Amino acid sequence: MADIMIQSLLLSFMLLGIHAYFGLEIVRRGIIFTDIAVAQLSAAGLALSLLLFNEPSQLLSLAFALLGSLLVALSQRKREYSEAFIGLLYALGFSSVVLVLSRSPKGMEEFLRLTASDILFVPREEILKTGLLFLAFGVLLYLRRFIKNEVLREIHFFSLFALTVTTSVKLVGVLVVFSMLVAPALVSLIFGRGLIFAWIYGAILNTAGTLTSFWLDLPTGFFLVFIHAFVSALLFLAKVSLRV
Amino acid sequence: MRFLVLLVLLVSVSLADVRVVVTYPWIGDLVRKIGGDRVSIHVIAKGTEDPHFVVPKPSHIAKLRRADLLIIQGAYLEVGFLPPLLRQANNLKIQPGREGFLDLSNYVQLIEKPEVVSRAMGDVHPEGNPHYHLDPYNIPLLAEAVKEKLCKIDPDGCPLYEKNFEEFASRWRSKLIEWNREFSTLKGVRVIAYHSLFNYLLKRYGIVLAGTLEPLPGIPPTRSHIEKLLRLENVKIILVGVYNERRTARFLAERIGAKVVLLPHDVGSLPEVRDLFSLFDEILRRLKDG
């Protein structure tokens, strides 16, 4: 069992590595539901492909995610309202899934099976592949500083974000991705720290969470979500009340 | 010295133990009835859960990894969680096609198989309805399949398995007479079901399925679907599984003067249902009350 535990840990570190980076930016801008909206639009693409071709198409799903990220990038022109807009995108994606599937022969069941994901499900080869992919995304993110045009920079950022989120949501589900994105970033920001702090903090929680879930035999993905949300909310409250 | 003897005894006892992993509680009960104390059983899903979706835990992988035998319901029911668990467990013995793998759906006649299997028609479910264990006539066939498999895996235990199987089968036969008598009083009764969970039972005893609440799994009813359901006459009972939401059923029941009846579908889905016998007893009791 140690190998499965190490795999889960490794995967959680990889997710943390790239999502904490995105998270800092996303939390700073206050558009934390971007990932859920993008993931939901990608799901809508998947549902549509089930209706049209009777089989899942990752390409269509990715196209929808990229379209979503483009819309989010556009919404940045009116920042004070962009979170409301992103919320609407999520609702749009979710309702589209149900509406589209109501016309498909098999309904929700097939779709839910296709989208079943869990941190325990991910095999080693997939982890390695994802690691390489995230590495490439990381390099591309680094190159962002050389883009001078503001609009292009935004599009670059949000497309990479969409690619990352669709990859990771497919592997571990939207909740785990959400907590890796938001929790370490939030704690790091309220304590006035940066990416390194978010990484260290997140890594400690990932390790504690994975070990505990294996020890107590709890669903690993949900336990990671729980511990990230719980500890981060606690730290947030502590910080806020100490200041008052 | 005595300690050594004890140790050797312990080792040989645990060697005789056949480690069986099953996906659902009713299969676990069947294996317990046939295998007795010679088998250790790990059940992946809980009776109260929707059988289509199981939240994976680390122990599922650990148990699969050490298993000698994996018994599944098949017919695509486990497709959402078992293939990845099996891959992670990396246990060659229990892979599909190997000796340590048993797909029980191969031993019964599945209903609702599409006549023409064509992807263009959207028949992505060519196997048919997977909830075949709710036909009590299927249980002895499945018990026999389990017995045969256990005999193959653990020939030393075969006489015990044979004996247990005979006992189980004869007890089942006498129960079946009682169930046949009682269920047949429900023949011709019209029911609506949440979805196709109880179709085998209904078909066996001539209970008429007038419609299903959901037009498709997971999709809420449309206007025309509800209108169709409201026009149904003489529907006495609306059947729901333990994991279905009940509001839609109650809504419809009020309007057409039917009663909502919650039925167990698996061992452990309700506290009264402790094994396969009490599963059918409880289904019968609830249907007759309804």
* pLDDT of amino acid B122: 42
pLDDT digits 0-9 by tens, A67-76: 999 999 999 8
* A120 interaction partners in chain B (CB closer than 8 Å): 56-58, 60-61, 84-85, 88
- SS3 state of residue A27: helix
Residue B33 and residue B61: Cα distance in Å, rounded?
25
Which residues of A fall within a CB distance of 8 Å from B65?
1
Compute the count of residue pairs across chains A and B with CB atoms less than 8 Å apart. Answer: 94
Q: Which CATH number does the domain housing residue A24 bear?
A: 1.10.3470.10
What is the pLDDT at residue A56?
Answer: 86
pLDDT of B1: 53
- The confidence score (pLDDT) of residue B116 equals 57
Contact residues on chain B for A116, CB-CB shorter than 8 A: 53, 80-81
C-alpha span between B192 and B210 (Å, rounded): 6
Domain total in chain A? 1
Please give, rounded to a whole number of angstroms, the shortest distance from the CA of A231 to a CA of chain B.
22
The Cα A76–Cα A152 span in angstroms is 13
From the centroid of its chain, how far is CA A33?
10
- Domain assignment present for A175: yes
Say what the pLDDT of residue B120 is.
46
Which one of A109, A112, A122, A218 makes the best mutation probe of the B interface by having the most chain B beta carbons within 10 Å? A109
In a domain, A16, yes or no: yes
Contact B122 A54 (CB under 8 A): yes
Quick check: A118 contacting B, CB < 8 Å?
yes
Q: Using CB atoms, which residue from A112, A116, A120 is nearest to B218?
A: A112
Give the distance from residue B118's alpha carbon to the nearest chain A alpha carbon, in angstroms: 11
Q: List, in order of start, the domains of chain B with CATH numbers.
A: 10-108+134-175 (3.40.50.1980), 186-289 (3.40.50.1980)
Q: Which domain holds residue A6?
A: 2-238
Mutation pick from A12, A118, A119, A224 vs chain B, by most beta carbons of B within 10 Å, is: A118
Query: Among B118, B162, B138, which Cα is nearest to B74's?
Result: B138
Mention every residue, 6+ apart, whose C-beta is less than 8 A from residue B265: B51, B131, B134, B197, B198, B241, B242
Rg (CA), chain A: 18
Report the residue of B88, B119, B125 to disrupt the A interface, i.e. the one with the largest count of A CBs within 10 Å: B88
Q: How far is residue A195 CA from its own chain's centroid?
A: 17
Contact criterion met (CB < 8 Å) for A120 and B58:
yes
Give the pLDDT of chain A (244 residues) as one tens digit per residue: 788 999 999 999 999 999 999 999 999 999 999 999 999 999 999 999 988 988 889 899 999 999 999 999 999 889 889 999 999 999 999 999 999 988 887 777 778 877 878 999 999 999 999 999 999 999 999 998 899 898 899 999 999 999 999 999 999 999 999 999 999 999 999 999 999 999 999 999 999 999 999 999 999 999 999 999 999 999 999 999 987 5
Q: Each residue's pLDDT tens digit in chain B (290 positions)?
A: 555 555 555 544 555 589 999 999 999 999 999 999 999 999 999 999 889 888 899 999 999 999 999 999 999 899 889 999 999 999 999 999 999 999 999 999 999 887 655 444 444 456 789 999 999 999 999 999 999 999 999 999 999 999 999 999 999 999 999 999 999 999 999 999 998 899 999 999 999 999 999 887 777 788 888 889 999 989 999 999 999 889 889 999 999 999 999 999 999 999 999 999 999 999 999 999 87
Which candidate from B53, B62, B84 shows the least CB-CB separation from A112? Answer: B53
Residue A243 in domain: no
The pLDDT of residue A217: 95
A223: contact with B, CB 8 A cutoff? no
The pLDDT of residue A55 is 84
Question: Do A1 and B87 lie within an 8 Å CB cutoff?
Answer: no
Q: Which residues of A touch B196 (CB under 8 A)?
A: none
Cα–Cα distance for residue pair B239/B51, rounded to 1 Å: 17
The reply to whether residue B121 touches residue A105, judged by beta carbons under 8 angstroms, is yes
Q: A135 lies in a domain?
A: yes
Q: Which two tokens stand for residue B56?
A: 């994976």
Strand locations in B93-216 (E): 101-103, 190-193, 208-212
- Is residue A210 within 8 angstroms of chain B, CB to CB? no
d(CA B172, CA B277): 8
Taking the CA of residue B1 and the nearest CA in chain A, the distance in Å comes to 34
d(CA A177, CA A19): 8
Give the whole-angstrom CA distance, residue B259 versus residue B245.
15
pLDDT of the residue at B121? 44
